Amino acid sequence: MAAMARTNSSSTFSAINVTPLVDIMLVLLIIFMVTARLISSQAVPLDLPKAATGSEQQTVFAVALDAKGELKVDSRPVAGDREFLELARSAHARHTDLRAVIHADTSTNYGRVVRLMDLLKQGGIGKIAFAVTPTTPEPTGT
């Protein structure tokens, strides 16, 4: 309840009305919550490399899996899981801070992608990312 004080000279009450202040704060809170969600939903969480200078390059182990199920590492075809695992191990031995980027077709079997991730981790490559094609949001019609 608002604090009330009675003056001696008149019989009127003076009070502090905090209702407009609370209304304004609630509106600002709602605006902040909505805009924070829009800002954070457009970003893809990535573990980006840190460097003191911009001249250093990050070594990437590029894995491509097309719709037919053909596997390629750095644009070279790979026969099977065993060869893929050996390539991952040898690449990790050359570069300990290696990152793998998986380019998988949308029609690729989910289990195959998970298998590739498992083989990468067995090969010592723990930093894995997925390549995506950014799309523009569809306009809303009125």
In a domain, 35, yes or no: no
pTM: 0.54
Distance between CA atoms of residues 98 and 88, nearest Å:
10
- 31, part of any domain: no
Provide the pLDDT for residue 6: 54
Give domain status of residue 111, yes or no: yes
Where helices occur in the chain by DSSP H, the ranges are 19-41, 81-94, 110-122
Contact (Cβ atoms closer than 8 angstroms) between residue 38 and residue 30 = no
Is residue 73 a part of any domain in this protein? yes
pLDDT digits (tens, 9 = 90+) for 109-126: 888 889 999 999 999 988
Domain-embedded: residue 114: yes
Instruction: Identify the bridge partners of residue 78 per DSSP, sorted by sequence position.
Output: 71
Compute the distance between CA of residue 10 and CA of residue 118 in angstroms, rounded to an integer: 82
Which residues form the domain of 124?
60-130
Report angle CA 120, 122, 124 to the nearest 5 degrees: 75
Domain membership flag for residue 82: yes
What pLDDT sits at residue 27? 94
Give the highest mean pLDDT range of 8-12, 22-26, 104-108, 138-142. 22-26
- Each residue of 67-96: pLDDT tens digit? 888 888 888 888 888 999 999 999 889 888
On whether the CB atoms of residues 72 and 116 are closer than 8 A, the answer is no
Which 8-state DSSP code applies to residue 96? T
Q: What is the CATH number of the domain that holds 103?
A: 3.30.420.270
Whether 41 is covered by a domain: the verdict is no
Query: Which residues are bridge partners to 22 per DSSP?
Result: none
Does residue 29 fall inside a structural domain?
no
Least confident range from 2-6, 36-40, 73-77, 89-93: namely: 2-6
What are the two backbone dihedrals, phi and then psi, of residue 107, each rounded to the nearest 5 degrees? -90, 5
What is the per-residue pLDDT for 106? Answer: 82
Count the domains in the chain: 1
Question: Dihedrals φ, ψ of 110, to 5°?
Answer: -60, -40
